[in-house]
Amino acid sequence: MNLTILEISALDILWQSSGGNLEFRGAIENELKVRIASNMNFSIEYLFSLSKIKNQALTISFIPTSDAYNNYGTNITVSLIFEDKELERVVSNYSSKPSINSFGIVKAEVLVKDNLSFEQIENLRTVGFSTSNILELISL
């Protein structure tokens, strides 16, 4: 099977259902690593517009095997946190014509704790996660 032609959501489904076939699961994990490294589906400015301008909660699903998936689980419901310097840069990028998209680490305040530990909640506030780890996003 040529995994390179599949969308990342299809790889997610295959990964979840491939538990017993370690060789196939490993091949999917290798392809997911490639996809994570080049994933630019959700910019910091886009997340900012939803979380801060539209004041919406974000339910974020992470790509399996990503650092965020390993650290925080399948998904989280959060509001983003921006320090002053970050906020200035993001607002400037967002306001530019045309707008500038950047990618990287974002920090978040947990809105729904689910099964997150105190340490995971603190890590989301202080360490955050990479936008490249995002599989899907629902804004509420």
Confidence tier at 74 by pLDDT (50, 70, 90): very high
The token duo for 136 is 């899907």
pLDDT at 100 over 90: yes
Question: Nearest to residue 13, comparing CAs of 50, 57, 64?
Answer: 64
Q: What is the pLDDT of residue 20?
A: 81
Q: pTM for this one?
A: 0.93
Secondary structure (3-state) at 41 = coil
Which residues fall within 8 angstroms of residue 35, CB to CB, at 6 or more apart? 8, 11, 63
Q: What is the pLDDT of residue 77?
A: 97
